Every structure is written in C-alpha cells, then in structure tokens.
C-alpha cells in the first residue's frame, strides 16, 4: 500500500472559507493586532459610521463616546449618534455581516468604503469576551426604538440575532444609533488623540467623550454648516481595470459600445467615446456583452491612451482651507501661527483626489517649556508631529509606511526655516496636518492606516506641503525680523533713560519732558525701520530662488 494520500483524501478537507472565518484568523488585517489598537479600532469604526450617517442625512453630528472599564483588560465601548438611524431590517446585517454596506459599490467620498468596519468589531467582541454587541436604533418615522443583541455567524458570515425588541425608552433621542461593544483591550491616550483629530477634520461635529476614569471632554464644533455633500461619480476610463470593466460590460443596458462608454463613464462624450473605439480598433456599434477577453484588453488600452477630460471634481468634499484653519485654531488656541491650504483636485488611476495641508506652529509657551525640559539631555529638537487624514478619518498607525509621510520627508524643509536631518521629518514645535480626500483612497491594507504610494499622490502632496511651507517660512522670517526689530527698539528704549538724564543735566531742562520726547521718537522710528527691512528681505528671498518654486 502506498503511503501517499490521494486527491480524494484532500477533497474531504477542502471546503469553502467564509470571509468571516478568514478574518477570524487574521484579525490583524482589520487592525486588531494589539489590545491598545483594538480598543481604538472599536471607537474609530463606530465614530466613523456615525459621522458618515449624520453627514449624509444632512444632520450636524452630535456624538457621544463612552469607555467603561469592566476588568483589567475588558472595556465597554459605547458610541451614540444623532444620525437618521437604521431601519430595523438592516440593523443586524450592518453590525453582524462583514462586507455589507452601501459604500463599496459606489464612487463617493466617504469615511468607510468596504463595509467591514463596524461588523469586524462585533466579530472581535465575540472572539474576545463573547458578549453580544448591543444596538439601539431609532428612525424618525417610528415611535419605538429598535433594540437588538447580536453575534456574527462566522461560518455563514451572517448576523446571529440573540435578542431583539421594540422599546419605549428613549436611548438616542428623536433619531440615531447607539452601539455598545464589550471587548478586550487596553486603554491609552490614543483614543483621545483620535477624537481630537477627528474633531479637527470634522469641524461641524460635536463629540462628547467620557474616558474610563470618568473624565469628560467635549470637542465642540467650530463650524455650524455641513460640508456640501459630495456627488457620486461614474468611473473614469483612466482608472479601469479588467475585472471591473468586464462586469460593467456584462451588466450594462446600453446596446452599443459607444453608448456604453458615454453612459457608464464620467468625462466621456461622443467624441472621446469614438476616439476610444478607434484606438481600441473595435467598431462603435459592437454589443458590449460580445467583447471577449482580448477585445477588453484592447479597450482598456484605448481608454488609457485616448485624450479624455479629467474626472469631475464635485465629488470631492475637502475640509476647506478656511475651515481647517479655524478648526486648528480652535483645537490649538495657544498656537503661534496656523495656516492651511487646499489644493485643486488631481487624478490618479482615474480617481479624483485632493490634498489639504495645515500647519500649526509654536504650541504655546507651556507646551514648549515642557518639551524643552524633557529634551534637556539631548539638546536636539523634537521632530514635528504629523497628523494624517484620509477622507476626514485620522490615520493613527503605520505612519512610516504612508505615502503622505513620504511626501513630507521628500520636501526640503530647510528652505522653509525648519531644521531637518537628512530626509527625515523636520524638527520644530510644529504639527503638520495632511488630508487626502478621494472617492477611493488607495490604502495599503484593510485596516486603512497608510496611503499607498502612487506617484501622483506623492507629487501632489509635496506641492501642497510646499505651498503651506512657504506661508510658514514667510511667517518665520517675519517673526525673526520682528524679533530683531524688537530687540533694536528695546535697545534704543533702554538707553533713553540715561540719555535723557544726561541731556537734562547738560541743558538744564526738565528730564521727564526730555525722556517723554525721546521715547516718542523711539516709538515713531519703529515703523520706518520695518518698511525698510521688508524690502530687503523680499529681495533676498528672490535671490534664494524660493519664488521659482511656485506650483506648476
């Protein structure tokens, strides 16, 4: 008898793996790689969902986050919002089925995109504490609040509702959702950082937070208007890939290739449609469903070589330069200098995206003194704090793997008056905020922590950083100038007393009067000097060639 197993033996062991089972074994792919991060993920997924829901419904978000410690490594995370609520039938699937959601199949800028987020927390809770996730949902049209407790059936990737009922008790007000999850984790300040950063990128949201030790923090809104809702976008030909195109071709109701192109894609009119067909060498009136693999390949090539307008950009919803600045000023009231810029949209792989950058410089005397004290041993300045956002969601992990970080390091900060050793992050009392928004942000993994390094994204991010850097630089050189000016004036003022006394003795006139006149003269000369200095600095800037670095 031969020892080796036969294919039939294997067949007994081969069976389908459900997505849920896959993620059960690969929790880290969803971001649950350590206890601290797991707790944060629970908060983050719930808050992101709440923000998306309220914003899409045109409601100014009002979110309450509470974390309660149950025992050494167990916490209850509860997040409540004032969004539109979720209709009863959908609640179990939203919270208890992976890859269920409204966001995957559309091209629309939003916080979540795969429909994994919150249900993965349900799964994680079930894996660590076994306590079912509790959900309260109230929609405006119903009188009662729907309540359920659920697990996730990993084998079937379906929700397992353990208990459900309609209750009279008001849990979330007129409308909204509250979710409560009991999970293993470890509490760290990162939760607060995340909420603070979320408040920066969502200035129209109010977030109330209660930490495990009972401390209450409110991150107020600095803006009372919701951003203009982003529009959905049809795919752009430049971003097409085989699989997607094949599916679109199969499902279209258009009868010819040309009408398929003009109907299903953005930025394609009859002219560019004809050009694509011509370049692909496929007749315009071919039935979409009849294209074979080779024809589809040719069509993709045609799409990529044809001259097609950029995708529409009204599908993007940036924070906005003024809004970001206002928000940063609210969050860092002691900052010395705050600036921000919003770039025009650009395109990668047919997806429009847009970069925003904010700079907070000088973090107030207190913080600086503290930092200085901590750094007394090695006199080196700390590197700046980088705050990354993607579609308004703070990215808290994998900073060094992120394309946005790469862009920051690529910039020569020395020309903006910051110190920088090699191509590291620059040093100084500064926070740099960088936000990418897109209908599809290319993340490195499902836990959505690092943006993939598309050259178009890095290039655009660098330009944005340089725009903001120039503003910082002119502030810093102005500050230095003002400092010199101030020192100069202080010197003249310091000598005024002695000079006045001496002149009083020499002339026999009243010393107080002389001093008054002399100090007035010192005062009046401040402005003369400033104008003069301004001129010379502009000249030297031009010499350094900073001006040549304008955006293309």
Partner 1 sequence: MAKEVKKELQKLGDKLLQDIEKKENPSIEIPIRALSNVVFDKKLGQLTLGDKTAKRYYFNVAHAKKFMQTAMVASFSKQLIDQNIHASIRDMFYNLKRTLPDSNENTFDEQSESDPIIVDLEVAIDVLREQLHLTTDRKGIVAGNVIIQDRGDNIDWSKLGSGGWSIPSTVDEITFKKVDAEFVLVVEKNAGFERLHEDKFWQKHKCILVGTGGQPSRGTRLLIQRLNQEHKLPVYVFCDADAYGAYIYSVIKSGSISLAHVSDRISTPSAKFIGLTISDVYEYDLKKATIKAKDVDIKRAKEMLNYEWFKKNPRWQKELNLMIEKGIKAEIEALSHKGLKFMSETYLPDKLKKKDFLD
List the interface residues with partner 1, window 523-552 (CB under 8 A). Answer: 524-525
Q: Where are the alpha helices (DSSP H) in 351-454?
A: 364-374, 403-410
Minimum CB distance to partner 1 smaller for 269 or for 497: 497
Minimum CB distance to partner 1 smaller for 163 or for 517: 517
Minimum CB distance to partner 1 smaller for 337 or for 492: 492
By CB under 8 A, tell whether 517 contacts partner 1: yes
Binds partner 1 by CB under 8 A, chosen from 250, 424, 507, 540: 507
Q: What is the 3-state secondary structure (H, E, C) of 323-365?
A: HHHHHHHHHCCCCCEEEEEECCCEEECCEEEEEEEEEEECCHH
Min separation Cβ 117 and partner 1, Å: 59
Binds partner 1 by CB under 8 A, chosen from 5, 25, 494, 527: 494
266 touches 312 (CB < 8 A)? yes
By CB under 8 A, tell whether 505 contacts partner 1: yes
Q: CA torsion sign, 230 to 234 to 240 to 241? A: positive
Q: CA torsion sign, 360 to 361 to 366 to 371? A: positive
Binds partner 1 by CB under 8 A, chosen from 22, 104, 242, 495: 495
Minimum CB distance to partner 1 smaller for 244 or for 502: 502
By CB under 8 A, tell whether 349 contacts partner 1: no
Minimum CB distance to partner 1 smaller for 279 or for 526: 526
Task: In the chain, count H helices and then E strands.
Answer: 15, 14
95 touches 126 (CB < 8 A)? no
Please name which of 322, 407, 333, 320 lies closest in space to residue 364, comparing C-alpha atoms.
333
Binds partner 1 by CB under 8 A, chosen from 241, 498, 523, 534: 498
Min separation Cβ 524 and partner 1, Å: 7
Interface characters, 451-490, with partner 1 (x: CB under 8 A): -------------------------------------x--
Stretch that binds partner 1, among 109-117, 242-250, 474-482, 502-510 (CB under 8 A): 502-510
If 0-12 CB within 10 Å is exposed, 13-18 middle and 19+ buried, where does residue 161 land? middle
Tally the C-alpha atoms within 13 A of residue 226's C-alpha that lie toward its C-beta: 15
Residues 6+ apart with CB under 8 A from 282: 257, 291, 295, 298, 299, 302
Please name which of 378, 316, 317 lies closest in space to residue 347, comparing C-alpha atoms.
316
Binds partner 1 by CB under 8 A, chosen from 509, 527, 544, 550: 509
Binds partner 1 by CB under 8 A, chosen from 497, 538, 540, 542: 497
Min separation Cβ 429 and partner 1, Å: 26
Please name which of 328, 189, 303, 293 lies closest in space to residue 236, comparing C-alpha atoms.
303
Min separation Cβ 529 and partner 1, Å: 8
By CB under 8 A, tell whether 503 contacts partner 1: yes
Give the residues lining the site for partner 1 (CB under 8 A).
488, 491-492, 494-495, 497-499, 501-509, 514, 517-518, 521, 524-525
């Amino acid at each position: 008898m031969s020892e080796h197993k036969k294919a039939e033996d294997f067949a007994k062991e081969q069976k389908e793996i459900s997505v849920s089972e896959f993620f059960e074994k690969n929790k880290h792919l969803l971001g649950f790689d350590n206890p601290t991060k797991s707790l944060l993920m629970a908060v983050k997924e719930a808050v992101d969902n709440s923000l998306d829901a309220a914003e899409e419904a045109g409601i100014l978000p009002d979110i309450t986050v509470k974390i309660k410690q149950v025992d050494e490594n167990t916490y209850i995370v509860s997040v409540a919002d004032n969004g539109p609520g979720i209709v009863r039938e959908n609640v179990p699937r939203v919270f208890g089925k992976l890859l269920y959601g409204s966001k995957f199949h559309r091209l629309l800028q939003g916080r979540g995109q795969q429909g994994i987020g919150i249900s993965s927390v349900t799964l994680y809770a079930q894996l660590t504490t076994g306590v079912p996730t509790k959900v309260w949902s109230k929609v405006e049209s119903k009188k009662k609040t729907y309540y359920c407790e659920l697990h996730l059936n990993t084998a079937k990737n379906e929700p397992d509702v353990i208990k459900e009922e309609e209750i009279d008790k008001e849990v979330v007000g007129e409308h909204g959702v509250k979710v409560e999850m009991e999970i293993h984790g470890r509490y760290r300040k990162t939760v607060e950082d995340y909420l603070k950063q979320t408040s920066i990128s969502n200035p129209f949201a109010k977030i109330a937070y209660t930490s495990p030790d009972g401390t209450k923090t409110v991150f107020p809104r600095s803006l009372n208007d919701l951003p203009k809702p982003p529009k959905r976008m049809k795919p752009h030909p430049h971003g097409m890939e085989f699989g997607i195109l094949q599916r679109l071709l199969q499902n279209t109701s258009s009868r010819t290739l040309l009408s398929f192109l003009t109907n299903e894609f953005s930025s394609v009119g009859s002219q560019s449609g004809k050009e694509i067909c011509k370049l692909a060498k496929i007749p315009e009136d071919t039935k979409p469903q009849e294209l074979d693999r080779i024809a589809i390949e040719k069509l993709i090539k045609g799409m990529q070589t044809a001259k097609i307008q950029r995708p529409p950009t009204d599908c993007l919803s940036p924070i906005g330069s003024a809004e970001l600045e206002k928000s940063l000023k609210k969050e860092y009231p002691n900052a010395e200098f705050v600036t921000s810029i919003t770039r025009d949209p650009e395109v990668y792989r047919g997806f429009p995206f847009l970069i925003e950058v904010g700079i907070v410089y000088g973090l107030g005397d207190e913080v600086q003194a503290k930092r200085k004290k901590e750094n007394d041993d090695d006199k080196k300045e700390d590197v700046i704090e980088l705050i990354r956002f993607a579609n308004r969601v703070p990215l808290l992990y994998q900073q060094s793997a992120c394309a946005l970080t790469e862009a920051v390091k690529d910039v020569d900060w020395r020309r903006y008056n910051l110190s920088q050793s090699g191509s590291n992050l620059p040093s100084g009392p500064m926070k740099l905020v960088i936000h990418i928004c897109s209908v599809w942000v290319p993340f490195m993994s499902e836990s959505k922590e690092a943006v993939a390094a598309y050259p178009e994204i890095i290039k655009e991010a660098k330009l944005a950083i340089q725009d903001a850097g120039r503003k910082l630089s002119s502030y810093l050189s102005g500050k230095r100038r003002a400092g010199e000016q101030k020192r100069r004036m202080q010197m003249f003022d310091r000598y005024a007393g002695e000079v006045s006394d001496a002149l009083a003795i020499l002339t026999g006139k009243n010393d107080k009067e002389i001093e008054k006149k002399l100090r007035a003269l010192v005062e009046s000369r401040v402005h003369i000097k400033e104008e003069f200095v301004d001129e010379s600095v502009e000249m030297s800037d031009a010499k350094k060639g900073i001006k040549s670095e304008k955006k293309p």
